[in-house]
A and B are shown apart, each in its own frame.
Chain A
Amino acid sequence: SQQGEEDPQALSIQEGENATMNCSYKTSINNLQWYRQNSGRGLVHLILIRSNEREKHSGRLRVTLDTSKKSSSLLITASRAADTASYFCATVVFSGGGADGLTFGKGTHLIIQP
């Protein structure tokens, strides 16, 4: 089963509105990351939040992490047409061997209507 599950699966909003996406996971993590994927392209790293952090900001992005509920949210404020993409959360579980593979959810497909 998926480690990360994003919700909603698809979200369509008007340009200028805020977009909120959620992610839930199952196991204890070291950190959680959000990535963006434009259609037919590779993933672009957006933001990383450590397990001991509760909130983090980067430009128009705000990420929260609630380890007690094993959930995270990504908020994009003042959305733009260029924000149209799929957004994935990914978790990192250290096994002691160093940088481990990321475990991705299925993603939220965000459409910004002009």
Chain B
Amino acid sequence: NAGVMQNPRHLVRRRGQEARLRCSPMKGHSHVYWYRQLPEEGLKFMVYLQKENIIDESGMPKERFSAEFPKEGPSILRIQQVVRGDSAAYFCASSRSQGGLAKNIQYFGAGTRLSVL
């Protein structure tokens, strides 16, 4: 029973390039969350998606960042025209679709560490 899979684990981009981060949720999970973590900081919520829908993107920067969770395939966090300040660890988490508190326990992937040169 594979956990949340993120790839790549490390991504290096030059300023102005695009970064695409992928996340496959745990089997049976239909809720996906993306978080960003700066060094020595806690995780900051970015966006919450269900299949084909963005439910809450209140933590997403207004420009250059987008996320999707298509009907088939992994969730993608896309950062266009990256800048040095985008360097961080990006974590994806998933949770189950059943009701109750089970939805609130999120299972995290190992993260993608983005370095912008």
Contact = CB atoms under 8 A, between A and B. Distances in A.
Interface of A: 2, 4, 30-31, 33, 35, 41-45, 48, 50, 88, 92, 95, 97-107
B56 interface: yes
Interface residues of B, number: 29
B104 A99 contact: yes
B42 A48 contact: no
B108 interface: yes
B59 A43 contact: no
Contacts, number: 71
Contacts of A35: 108
A42 B101 contact: no
Nearest to B107: A45
B29 to A, nearest CB: 10
Nearest to B4: A42
B109 interface: yes
B91 A48 contact: no
A73 B37 CA distance: 23
Nearest to B48: A101
A92 B106 CA distance: 11
A43 B48 CA distance: 17
Question: Among the interface residues B31, B46, B101, which one has the most CB atoms of the partner chain A within 10 A?
Answer: B101
Contacts of B41: 106
B11 to A, nearest CB: 15
